[in-house]
Amino acid sequence: MNNTSYIEESAGNLKIGNLQLKSKVIAAPMAGITDTVLRQMIRMFSKDCLLMSEMLSSEALKFNKEQKILLHDKIENPLSFQISGHKPELMAEGARKLEPFAQIIDINMGCPAPKIVKNGDGVKLMTDIKLASEIIKAVRNAVSIPVTVKCRLGWDFNSKNYIEFAKMIEDCGADGIIVHGRTKSQMYSGKANWEEIGEVKQAVKIPVIGNGDIDSPQKAKECLEISGCDGIAVGRGIMGDPGLIGRIEKFILTGELQPEPDIKEKLEIALLHCKKEVEHMRNELNGIKFMRKFFACYVTGIRDATTYRADLVRCTKLSEVEAIFEKIRNNLE
Ligand SMILES: Cc1cc2nc3c(=O)[nH]c(=O)nc-3n(C[C@H](O)[C@H](O)[C@H](O)COP(=O)(O)O)c2cc1C
């Protein structure tokens, strides 16, 4: 099959359970990153992609402690809420709480963060297929909207169990699988293995979403072609570039490669992001502090980026951020 016919045949849609999505691109969940503000920024460039919340702990949900992460706006729909934990009943209870405002419930079985793994949550569940299956069945039975599971290839190189795990996910009644093509041991190092994600696609009938290292329209297409996946999820590439998913969708649908934002456009987007974060947090200092991790990404590729980064992380006021952006613009000329 040549590339053109591939693009035409796969014209941007993805069905997860009874939810028909008009885009096969998903904004991957990232704790501390994909809050309601960033999701709305992504939505400005992509009206159809599925957005995902940061992970919500089922324990915290029980005690109504995740209120900030729960914040969202209707404009974000279709929106998937991701839940983490290891107790089937608590996970079911959490999913029931999320169902009224989610279009999908996603179960986190891929997070490798030490704090999560120590609890028996996230990717640790890939080492206990029985418990993982009980969780999926409990969540499946608790809600009537589609349920997906996000996982990795396994714990480490010698214990990759992605095929067995994917078949279990399907047997438990889940409607889709998002696979990050790395093991827990790899964390974020090495390369995501899109061929092995393709093996998952071959092993099950439910939709499989490939994830890992997709940071450009070309890589998105390459991942779709190599893995044969039904969709793709994009994570870190969004940081400092909320328009990336929109450009990926355009490329997948039409083959047109839209230009990346130039430095001035990037600064405009960064300032809008910053203003929205300050407004959202109703506190200038907290909003600016939250933006620090994004500033580094927004100025990447700019001459003297290291100096600007150092200046930006010291900012405490919006006016200071604006002044640095102005300086960057002036230095371009
Ligand atoms: C800062 C950060 C936070 C993340 N938080 C989550 C999370 O809450 N839930 C989850 O399933 N994955 C989480 N991930 C993993 C991403 O969703 C994604 O699987 C991973 O970054 C690989 O995709 P990428 O190469 O496109 O970034 C996180 C990743 C990063 C870098």
pLDDT tens for residues 221-269? 999 999 999 999 999 999 999 999 999 999 999 999 999 999 999 999 9
Q: How far is the CA of 181 from the centre of ligand 1 (A)?
A: 12
What local confidence, expressed as pLDDT, does residue 1 receive?
33
Choose which residue among 180, 219, 224 to substitute to test ligand 1 binding: the one with the highest number of ligand atoms within 8 A of its C-beta: 180
Average pLDDT for residues 35-53, to the nearest whole number? Answer: 97
Distance from C-alpha of 179 to C-alpha of 169, rounded to nearest angstrom: 12
Strand partners, 67: none
Distance from C-alpha of 305 to C-alpha of 313, rounded to nearest angstrom: 12
* Residues with Cβ within 8 Å of residue 115, at least 6 apart in sequence: none
Cis peptide before 100, with omega less than 30 degrees from 0?
no
Q: How far is the CA of 214 from the centre of ligand 1 (A)?
A: 12
Mean per-residue pLDDT over the chain, rounded: 95
Question: Which atom of ligand 1 lies closest to the CA of 234?
Answer: 26
Average pLDDT for residues 61-81, to the nearest whole number? Answer: 93
**Which protein residues touch ligand 1 with a CB less than 6 Å away?**
28-33, 54-55, 82, 108, 110-111, 150, 180, 211-214, 234-237
Average pLDDT for residues 94-98, to the nearest whole number? Answer: 97
What local confidence, expressed as pLDDT, does residue 9 receive?
39
Out of 65-69, 84-88, 227-231, least confident range: 65-69
Q: Token digits for 257?
A: 């490669």
pLDDT tens figures, 180-230: 999 999 999 999 999 999 999 999 999 999 999 999 999 999 999 999 999
Choose which residue among 30, 121, 236, 245 to substitute to test ligand 1 binding: the one with the highest number of ligand atoms within 8 A of its C-beta: 30
Residue 145 has pLDDT above 90, yes or no: yes
What local confidence, expressed as pLDDT, does residue 66 receive?
79
To the query of whether residue 315 is one of the catalytic residues in this protein, the response is no
What local confidence, expressed as pLDDT, does residue 70 receive?
93
Q: How far is the CA of 85 from the centre of ligand 1 (A)?
A: 16
pLDDT tens figures, 122-137: 999 999 999 999 999 9
What local confidence, expressed as pLDDT, does residue 86 receive?
98
Q: How far is the CA of 172 from the centre of ligand 1 (A)?
A: 24
Distance from C-alpha of 274 to C-alpha of 200, rounded to nearest angstrom: 39
What local confidence, expressed as pLDDT, does residue 211 receive?
98
Distance from C-alpha of 323 to C-alpha of 36, rounded to nearest angstrom: 26
The share of the chain scoring above pLDDT 70, in percent, equals 97
As to burial, measured by CB atoms within 10 angstroms (0-12 exposed, 13-18 middle, 19+ buried), residue 208 is buried
Q: How far is the CA of 27 from the centre of ligand 1 (A)?
A: 10
The active-site residue, picked from 111, 172, 223, 297, is 111
The share of the chain scoring above pLDDT 90, in percent, equals 93
Choose which residue among 56, 66, 224, 236 to substitute to test ligand 1 binding: the one with the highest number of ligand atoms within 8 A of its C-beta: 236
Out of 72-86, 116-130, 222-236, 295-309, least confident range: 295-309
Q: Name which residue sits closest to atom 7 of ligand 1, judged by CA.
A: 30
Q: Name which residue sits closest to atom 26 of ligand 1, judged by CA.
A: 235
pTM of the model: 0.95
Residue 5 has pLDDT above 80, yes or no: no
| Banded model confidence at residue 333, pLDDT cuts 50, 70, 90 | confident
